[in-house]
């Protein structure tokens, strides 16, 4: 038996909870009928910390991470999981990921800074981005991250900074895969309308085959450049594992093309994120497909690994190391978002339940038709007898949960949206001068505040009034 790595040695053993109803391993309806996250009653947390509130289960995050990692380890010999930090870039989350041994995908200087601040091993971090700034490149180079090149002038800019700092640099290249087998396949319209190939072709990301070859040739002549990987991110256009396998196979055909024209074979392929998860109650974009028929991590791992192995064997290439950048499938199920019911309004044909939780806080609900399963926090399994629109307080229609079947709700009740651990805090907005919510991380029966609730002075404090406007406002306007 392999000795556990230091990180694995430290990480706690996880025994899934046995709730009255399990939504996941560490979120469910507890013995008193309320929603629980791990060993904490969500009603108690909402009262103690106020709402809107994000609650993250540390153990669920660890559990989901391990399940995903182990699925790929079971099918592929050399796998590294880089958590997509953008899906939840709280420092506490990053620390948990560090302890699990996960690397990270950083998008931009701020995510890189946060990951470094949390002590993540820079050699397990990649920097992605299509318009990297000098400051960003310098931070990556100085700290030893792998930079995935996504513009023709990036290599020279990296080279100049590296020479100035006297450093060697790990580089990768983001590819603009052709994805011809996906030409006829429709997907969730993530990047405009069209088939998955049309959508993928229409995005700004990646370098063409010819550009990739050119970058590799140039990099091979630069003694301080260490070519490490090729990269691609299919995104969330489908939950079907087949397109992921198509994409992975094409990474290998590109490796062969690069080898043929440069002599260099990518030792690592990084195949990005976009991996879905399903739950028995349905979740994710297009809830009707991300239910218990959704593919499992094992399905993804098996099909993707088979495609890579098969194509590498056909083309006579060594098996590359495999890197993945899962985000929402790890962070999503680990969190819930809780709001308090305010005005309950009955119209001629509809009932609205107003919450203090808005599309500012569950923003993908509005943008992508993301489905969050909503449950009352107290008596979470009470019979759902009404169809209501759960709405937030913003001046748009702010439908955080349109047409939801709920038990009767009244002012002061709490409502929780499940699977809100990914992209909710990290994409929360301040529209209508709303304050950003707090987050607590729960482990067993203890809870810790990990993001403080934003205060009025923090919102107002960013604004500046030029003195000439002050004078105009406080003196009578003459004329």
Ligand X SMILES: Cc1ncc(COP(=O)(O)O)c(C=O)c1O
- Minimum Å gap between C-beta 275 and ligand X is 5
Stretch that binds ligand X, among 65-73, 215-223, 273-281, 451-459 (CB under 6 A): 273-281
Q: Is residue 88 near ligand X by the rule CB under 6 A?
A: no
The residue within the footprint of ligand X, chosen from 87, 88, 304, 354 (CB under 6 A), is 87
- Minimum Å gap between C-beta 329 and ligand X is 6
- Minimum Å gap between C-beta 478 and ligand X is 55
- Minimum Å gap between C-beta 357 and ligand X is 21
Choose between 283 and 340: whose C-beta lies nearer to ligand X. 283
Alpha-helical segments (H) within 118-208: 134-143, 154-165, 196-202
- Minimum Å gap between C-beta 175 and ligand X is 12
x/- binding map, residues 303-342, to ligand X, per CB under 6 A?
----------------------xxxxx-------------
* CA atoms of 72 and 440, how far apart (whole Å): 30
* CA atoms of 310 and 66, how far apart (whole Å): 26
Stretch that binds ligand X, among 24-32, 33-41, 110-118, 266-274 (CB under 6 A): 266-274
For the chain, the distance separating the N- and C-terminal CA atoms, rounded to the nearest angstrom, is: 88
- Which burial class, exposed, middle or buried, applies to 395 when counting CB atoms under 10 A from its CB (0-12, 13-18, 19+)? exposed
The residue within the footprint of ligand X, chosen from 233, 249, 302, 404 (CB under 6 A), is 233
* CA atoms of 451 and 455, how far apart (whole Å): 12
Choose between 40 and 245: whose C-beta lies nearer to ligand X. 245
Give Cα separations from 69 to 20, 269, 322 (angstroms): 28, 16, 11
* CA atoms of 209 and 388, how far apart (whole Å): 51
Choose between 85 and 434: whose C-beta lies nearer to ligand X. 85
- Minimum Å gap between C-beta 236 and ligand X is 5
Q: Is residue 129 near ligand X by the rule CB under 6 A?
A: no
Choose between 87 and 262: whose C-beta lies nearer to ligand X. 87
Residue 255 CA, chain-centre distance (Å), reads 27
Q: For 209, phi and psi rounded to 5 degrees? A: -55, -50
Q: Is residue 273 near ligand X by the rule CB under 6 A?
A: yes
- H or E, element range at 323: strand 321-324
Site for ligand X in 46-85 (CB under 6 A): 84
Residue 51's closest CA among 474, 448, 445, 439?
Answer: 439
What is the contact surface with ligand X in residues (CB under 6 A)?
A: 84, 86-87, 105, 128, 233, 236, 272-275, 325-329
């Amino acid at each position: 038996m392999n000795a556990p790595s230091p990180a694995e040695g430290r990480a706690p053993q996880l025994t899934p909870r046995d709730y009255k109803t399990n939504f996941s391993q560490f979120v469910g309806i507890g013995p008193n009928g309320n929603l629980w996250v791990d060993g904490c009653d969500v009603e108690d947390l909402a009262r103690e910390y106020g709402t809107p509130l994000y609650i993250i289960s540390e153990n669920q995050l660890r559990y989901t991470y391990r399940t995903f990692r182990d699925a790929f380890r079971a099918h592929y010999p050399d796998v590294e999981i880089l958590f997509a930090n953008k899906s939840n870039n709280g420092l506490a989350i990053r620390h948990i990921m560090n302890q699990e041994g996960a690397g990270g995908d950083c998008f931009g200087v701020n995510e890189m800074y946060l990951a470094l601040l949390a002590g993540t091993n820079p050699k397990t971090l990649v920097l992605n981005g299509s318009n990297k700034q000098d400051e960003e490149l310098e931070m990556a180079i100085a700290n030893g991250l792998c930079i995935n090149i996504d513009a023709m002038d990036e290599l020279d800019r990296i080279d100049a900074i590296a020479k100035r700092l006297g450093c060697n640099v790990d580089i990768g290249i983001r590819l603009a895969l052709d994805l011809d087998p996906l030409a006829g396949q429709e997907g969730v319209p993530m990047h405009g309308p069209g088939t998955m190939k049309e959508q993928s072709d229409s995005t700004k990301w990646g370098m063409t085959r010819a550009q990739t070859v050119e970058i590799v040739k140039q990099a091979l002549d630069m003694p301080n450049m260490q070519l490490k990987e090729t990269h691609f991110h299919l995104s969330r256009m489908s939950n079907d594992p087949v397109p992921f396998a198509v994409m992975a196979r094409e990474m290998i055909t590109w490796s062969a093309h690069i080898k043929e024209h440069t002599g260099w074979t990518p030792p690592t392929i990084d195949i990005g994120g976009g991996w879905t998860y399903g739950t028995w109650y349905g979740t994710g974009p297009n809830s009707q497909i991300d239910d218990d028929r959704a593919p499992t991590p094992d399905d993804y791992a098996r099909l993707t690994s088979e495609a890579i192995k098969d194509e590498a064997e056909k083309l006579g290439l060594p098996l590359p190391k495999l890197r993945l950048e899962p985000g929402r499938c790890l962070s999503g199920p680990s969190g819930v978002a809780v709001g308090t019911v305010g005005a309950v309004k009955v119209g001629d044909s509809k009932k609205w339940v107003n919450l203090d939780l808005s599309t500012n806080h569950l923003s993908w609900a509005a943008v992508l038709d993301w489905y969050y399963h909503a449950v009352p926090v107290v008596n979470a399994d009470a019979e759902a007898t009404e169809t209501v629109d759960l709405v937030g307080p913003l001046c748009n229609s702010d439908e955080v949960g349109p047409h939801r079947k709920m038990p009767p709700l009244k002012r002061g009740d709490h409502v929780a949206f499940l699977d809100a651990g990914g992209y909710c805090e990290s994409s929360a907005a301040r529209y209508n001068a709303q304050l950003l919510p707090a987050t607590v991380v729960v482990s067993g029966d203890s809870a810790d505040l990990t993001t403080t609730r934003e205060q009025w002075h923090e919102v107002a404090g960013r604004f500046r009034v030029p003195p000439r406007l002050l004078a105009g406002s406080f003196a009578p306007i003459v004329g």
